[in-house]
Structure 1
């Protein structure tokens, strides 16, 4: 496997001076829409029996890759942007109140080529759709995508009757030989490395001839379970019949009945996980940050930020204005199981490096298989700035030490980039390599960050 803790050779050419906070932050930050909801909504709309709408979607690299892939399979997606929106069709931009995508489902067709980039939702959610297409669909992506696990999805599809050619690697690049339908039925998979294996099979299951019964049989539990609950909730909202463990059913077993999906008019919530760096800024600076439109009830796992930030010393208030977080002047160490919210780990680790005591982050061994090996990368980069960090079997142990200036490498990982920005608020001279990688799920991050701080975007953004 390639060394994903080695910074790119051209890192010095893409350094972003992370702005130092000159005092308590006082800001309201409108966060773009949820990637998880946007890409699930696109898949369900593409499989529906009638047109649907996706309003206020996230427009980022991952979601635009999903749009391009669905179009390659024959799905029509019309984009409308109101005149007061800063976004333009086909390019990343902020979440706009007047923006909407109309999805018109058609018979899925090959031959087609899908570029997954390094988007887990695209590389895992779309092979089941490709099995329903007429013709061959080839999947390829960024070099790192070749190393990310796909075995659960591919093994499941093969057991359900799909023909897939991948040279025996169980990884990209690969070709799905679609014949217009898939039998479906019962399947057992190991989903201990990604909840997306389960979600991928469930999302397309209403179109399988026999629906699907997915049983997780791996030795470890399924990580990021809230993302599967999001999938179940969105399937039910689209008219699917789903039986899930949380309904009192069998543990680690999900069933979806074959049937037509409804075209929905869905408004996408703000991405709660992407709100993390902005809310963390309140804790770091002893200030106050409000994120509008924070839902009172949501399937997004990022909602646990309210609990985590409170434990680390913040005051959180959810009201008609949104979620408001106020820092208490100190950051407390934390002992937390983040197995259900692994994507929050880099940001929590950054806060832990600035805390008044030791932190232990548990349950996130699966992060070694994400956009990069996040545990190794965090250990190396936090350590390079002076923090005492060590990997455990399933997480990190962080002992704060005085931090100093330095380069914080991102390894093309958006969560590492925002973690570096959090550190830069308190540590003068932190430079984040390749801040542009935030465009994967959080477009225009440097401008949003500068706006929060009341300054101009830093050079190198």
Structure 2
């Protein structure tokens, strides 16, 4: 699918889609609960659909009521354990750990770019906790044999916090207590979200400065009733769209603050850049304004890189974004891809170690490929709004996190 986006003046109100990061954690917590959990405003995207499929295979019963809320009855086991998590890195790490709580052999697989994303940290950690994982050269497909028994382990958190999140969700069900020593943990806000979900479902954990996590064993998940809040990762693209292409301002609704979301940091970046941003009764109003170059550390929120880079194009001088090392193992090698597609649009992007420098400029007419990366597809649209027009190929990549993105953008374009 192709989409062509040209210079526009956006107006109107859109609602951010539900958070896929929160949704996947809630699905896992519901699966592990003894009873029926209720999820209101469920996020409808590919990653969440694959997580639901995995929960069903693992024995959950899922029903939808007249209000489109999901009722998930967990606490069961099924003899068939062959899971496919699609292209979800979070799903891969969550369900690898959950699979290791089973006494059965679990087959775990995925598709697309996920087959190139690493599982090597689990190869080191699982044997320390009584389980085994046999990967394919450190990647999917993998065979997992549990159950975890608990104990102590050391975890390198520099690649992704998702390994820790998976362990935090599975190990409360182990027979014994667990202590995990974590080195160089990145994306701590995502760990906070995991801990908040665990607390909501009655699970106790403790940590000291995000370096030593203590997980009491023999616990039981208590089913909860939870509302999925809007996705700040998707909301970031909408807010940047308003900052670069709305003279009178647009409204973005649905962005909650109950659960921690790393990408809420976009508000700080927008304010650093001089954007006009206001929270009005739960709706965020964003308006185009003279933007200034900014420096921003996105190490703990790397999904913001594409939107931040597009924002920087509209600034008065170069902007620097730190944390490039977090981009290699995404749906694409995002640092390199951002540099490439921005070059096609006539925009200079420099990569120097861990720092990306984006130089402002006039967006030229071009065609870019999304590289099957949802956030790159959205970044292409943000470029097009500033000039171009820009044609994005493989635009359907947005299905992974924000299926309604093109429809919502069309609403704002009028």
TM-score, normalisation: structure 1: 0.86
In structure 2, the residue matched to 1:291 is: 252
* SS of structure 2 residue aligned to 1:261: coil
Q: Match for 1:195 among 155, 161, 180?
A: 161
Match of 1:418 among 378, 390, 411: 378
> How much does 1:297 deviate?
4.6
Deviations 1:338-379 (A, max 9, x none): 111111110100111222110111023111111110000001
Which residue does the alignment assign to 1:92? none
Shift of 1:200: 0.8
Instruction: Say whether residues 1:252 and 2:219 are aligned partners.
Output: no
Superposed displacement of residue 293, structure 1 = 3.1
- Whether 1:44 aligns to 2:29 is yes
Tell me how far apart the structure 2 counterparts of residues 402 and 284 of structure 1 sit (CA, whole Å): 12
One of 391, 394, 413 as aligned partner of 1:431: 391
**8 Å contact 1:195–1:225 — kept in the other structure?**
yes
Aligned counterpart for 1:344 among listed residues 304, 325, 344: 304
How far apart, CA to CA, are the structure 2 residues paired with 1:141 and 1:324? 38
Distance 2:257 2:51 in 1: 28
Task: Give the counterpart of 1:76 among 53, 61, 73.
Answer: 61
Residues 1:103 and 2:69 aligned together: no
Partner SS state of residue 54, structure 1: strand
Q: CA deviation at 1:311?
A: 1.3
1:28 has 2:6 as partner: no
Tell me what 1:53 maps to.
Answer: 38
| Structure 1 partner of 2:265 | 304
Q: Equivalents in 1 of 2:123, 2:42: separation in Å?
A: 29
CA contact (8 A) 2:274 2:292 kept: yes
Aligned to 1:401: 361
Corresponding residue number in structure 2 for 1:93: none
Contact 2:83–2:106 under 8 Å retained in 1: yes
Q: Aligned-pair distance for 1:251?
A: 4.6
Indicate which of 139, 152, 158 corresponds to 1:186: 152
SS of structure 2 residue aligned to 1:64? helix
CA-atom RMSD in angstroms: 1.6
Counterpart-to-counterpart distance in 1, 2:152 and 2:399: 38
Partner of residue 235, structure 1: 198
Secondary structure in 2 matching 1:165:
strand
Query: Aligned residue for 1:6?
Result: none
Could you tell me how far apart the structure 2 residues matched to 1:121 and 1:402 are? 36
> How many matched pairs?
412
Contact 2:30 2:37 in 1 (8 A): yes
Change (3 A) 1:251 1:125: closer
Q: Which residue of 2 aligns with 1:324?
A: 285
Question: What CA distance in whole angstroms lies between the structure 2 residues aligned with 1:296 and 1:216?
Answer: 27
Cα offset, 1:241, TM superposition:
1.2
How far residue 296 of structure 1 moved from its aligned partner, in angstroms, is 4.7
Aligned to 2:230: 270
CA distance in 2, matches of 1:134, 1:77: 23
CA positional deviation for 1:380: 0.8
* Structure 1: gaps (5+ residues): 1-13, 83-97, 455-461
Quick one: distance in 2 between partners of 1:251 and 1:69?
A: 29
* 8 Å Cα contact 1:57/1:100 also seen in 2: yes
Structure 2 alignment gaps of length 5 or more: none
SS of 1:29's equivalent?
strand
TM value normalised by structure 2: 0.95
Determine the C-alpha separation between the residues in 2 that align with 1:223 and 1:327: 32
Contact kept, 8 Å, 1:48 with 1:105, in 2: the verdict is yes
Rate the CA distance shift 1:138–1:15 in 2: closer, same or farther, 3 A: same
Partner of 1:153: 122
1:239 positional shift = 1.1
Contact persistence 1:353–1:382 (CA under 8 A): no
Structure 2: distance between partners of 1:230 and 1:161: 26
SS in 2 for 1:275: helix
Instruction: Describe the shift of the 1:267–1:365 C-alpha distance in structure 2 as closer, same or farther (beyond 3 A).
Output: same
Q: CA deviation at 1:410?
A: 1.2
The 2-side partners of 1:212 and 1:77 are apart by 31
The answer for the alignment partner of 2:2 in structure 1 is 15
Contact 1:110-1:137 at 8 Å conserved across structures: no
Whether 2:105 is the aligned partner of 1:136: answer yes
1:274 match: secondary structure: helix
Does the CA contact (< 8 Å) of 1:215 and 1:252 recur in 2? yes
